[in-house]
Amino acid sequence: MELLSENRAFGGRHCRYRHRSTVNNCDMTFAVYLPPFATADNPVPVLYWLSGLTCTDENFMQKAGAMKIAAELGMAIVAPDTSPRGEGVPDDPEGAYDMGQGAGFYVNATQSPWQDHYQMYDYVTSELPALVEAELPVTGERAISGHSMGGHGALVIGLRNPNRYVSVSAFSPVANPTDCPWGQKAFSHYLGDDKSSWQAYDAAALLAEKTHYVPLLVEQGRADQFLTEQLKPKALVNAAQKSDTPLTLNMHEGYDHSYFFITSFIDEHLQFHASHLGLI
């Protein structure tokens, strides 16, 4: 790993790294917050944070206000970039924000020209944790969270890997991407026209068939401009009822899709994950 920057924060360290990703076939960046006293002799558990459309590894760390409570709880946070990037990495030919670079959707692409680089599911679930756990003072205990497209990624990854993540949360997630414009556009390009292959990356579809319990917490603002067309949290509620799976969905009057919403409730989410990671 190449250290790009390091800053002190609340007694801990915020670091940005670059490394060569085998699965994405390009250089990737990610950010880490290590709380005070995280050492090789005292490794700490990790919350993985997945950001949304147009974001990088920097958005959450700089805007969410999560580091203070992470320091108090003794929790590391790892925030990867939202897609592969760089020369030779495909992008939306029309320059749209909802596909291509900055919009990896946390899937393993199977279609040309995306499949050679867009393997974000494998990156988040396998390659990045293996690197982080080998090189940094963290344990193998993981929780996962995210926002919007990243909320979709967190839910999908947590539901598909209940033995690897002790808890899952999301802010304003794309809950049913097979039934919204963002998801349909991205999935048709990344995964092809066979919609049966899309189900593996649809949180509502996965939750409806769920047989193993993993703690789930979702926050959603009622003033979110994407609520009705793109996010569809009711699909999660219906799916949870179908599979008789506990789900906490908090709806908040007046809150929108921005980081103002995330920073308002991030403390509760870190405490939620800390309780399942055995920190409180």
Sequence-ordered list of residues with C-beta below 8 angstroms from that of 58, at least 6 positions apart, any chain: 16, 31
Segment holding 234, helix H or strand E: helix 233-243
Of 104, 91, 96, 115, nearest to 51 (Cα)?
104
Rg (CA), the chain: 17
The letter for the amino acid at 198 is: W
Is 21 one of the annotated active-site residues of the chain? no
> Are 234 and 267 within 8 A, CB to CB?
no
Positions of E strands within the chain: 2-9, 12-21, 26-34, 44-50, 76-80, 138-146, 168-171, 216-221, 248-252
Is 148 one of the annotated active-site residues of the chain? yes
Structure tokens belonging to residue 280: 């409180």
3-state secondary structure of 115: coil
Is 256 one of the annotated active-site residues of the chain? no
Is the peptide bond between 113 and the residue preceding it cis, with omega within 30 degrees of 0? yes
Please name the residue that has the structure tokens 């049966």: 196
Catalytic residue among 148, 167, 169, 172: 148
> Are 93 and 104 within 8 A, CB to CB?
no
Catalytic residue among 152, 257, 269, 273: 257
Catalytic residue among 57, 81, 202, 224: 224
Of 82, 93, 260, nearest to 174 (Cα)?
82
Catalytic residues: 148, 224, 257
